[in-house]
């Protein structure tokens, strides 16, 4: 299944705020669909439906395909520790996600484009794979090229990130960040019950 490229506000109206998908907010408060405004037609979600929505939040926020998300689930299960937290940490260590957190882009979609176009380096090497899994002590920086630096500098000014998570150390003058540690659950901005996502895939 290919990556979703349809209306983003429609997704956020259905699933709630997804910071990695879009920063825009819809003027409509109801869920999408012809019966969205009708209280009597609102059906209570089944347990499966609730788990499905939590899985969809993860998928749309990080811009993953179904097969990509399932691979992350399998990797999280393989590692020792709390599976739900490990899953989120794996996704937060993707190169496109880190660029988004640093304010290099206003969404993970835009961060993916930055990486694809070769504007970002890891340990001084250009990496153009958005799903690249960063490691502890990796140095994430902007390519030594005026177009790259100007683009990222403007994005940082427009995004105005108030506070970075403690696991990232960022030098704005050099446009360079170092990964100090894995993120904690409290630092993840996405409102999600990751245990329901693990339950959704429990039979696969």
Could you tell me the CATH number of the domain that includes residue 165? 3.10.290.10
Query: Per the structure, how many domains does the chain have?
Result: 2
Same-domain pairing of 71 and 105: no
The boundaries of the domain holding residue 65 are: 8-90+189-200
Q: Do 86 and 121 lie in a common domain?
A: no
Specify whether 99 is located in the same domain as 177: yes
Looking up residue 73, the CATH number of its domain turns out to be 1.10.1050.10
- Same domain assignment for residues 59 and 103: no
Question: What pLDDT is recorded for position 86?
Answer: 95
CA dist., res. 127 & res. 158, Å (int): 24
Measured distance CA(41)–CA(65) in Å, rounded: 31
Asked, for residue 48, whether it belongs to a domain, the answer is yes
Q: Is residue 1 part of a domain?
A: no
> 32, exposed or middle or buried, with CB in 10 Å at 0-12, 13-18, 19+?
middle
pLDDT, tens only, 155-182: 888 877 678 889 999 998 899 999 999 9
User: pLDDT tens digits for 6-45?
Assistant: 677 777 778 888 887 776 666 666 666 554 554 544 567 7
Q: For residue 122, how many other CB atoms are within 10 A of its CB?
A: 19
- Mean pLDDT, to the nearest integer, of 73-88? 94
Q: pTM for this structure?
A: 0.86
Give the count of alpha carbons within 13 A of 24, CB side only.
Answer: 10
* Residue 86 shares a structural domain with residue 98: no
């Amino acid at each position: 299944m290919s990556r979703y490229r349809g209306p983003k506000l429609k997704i956020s109206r259905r699933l709630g705020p997804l910071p990695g998908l879009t920063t825009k907010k819809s003027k409509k408060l109801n869920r999408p669909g012809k019966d969205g405004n009708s209280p009597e037609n609102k059906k209570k979600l089944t347990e499966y439906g609730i788990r499905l929505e939590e899985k969809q939040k993860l998928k749309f926020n990080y811009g993953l395909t179904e097969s990509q998300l399932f691979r992350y689930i399998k990797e999280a299960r393989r590692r020792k520790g709390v599976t739900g937290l490990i899953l989120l940490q794996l996704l937060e260590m993707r190169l496109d996600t880190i660029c988004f957190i640093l304010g290099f882009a206003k969404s993970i979609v835009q961060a993916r484009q930055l990486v694809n176009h070769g504007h970002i380096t890891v340990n001084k090497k250009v990496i153009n794979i958005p799903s690249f899994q960063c490691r502890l002590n990796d140095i994430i920086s902007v390519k030594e090229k005026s177009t790259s630096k100007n683009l990222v500098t403007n994005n940082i000014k427009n995004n105005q990130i108030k506070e970075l998570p403690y696991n990232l150390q960022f030098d704005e003058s050099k446009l360079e960040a170092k990964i100090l540690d894995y993120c904690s659950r409290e630092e993840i901005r996405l409102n999600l019950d990751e245990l329901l996502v693990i339950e959704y895939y429990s039979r696969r």
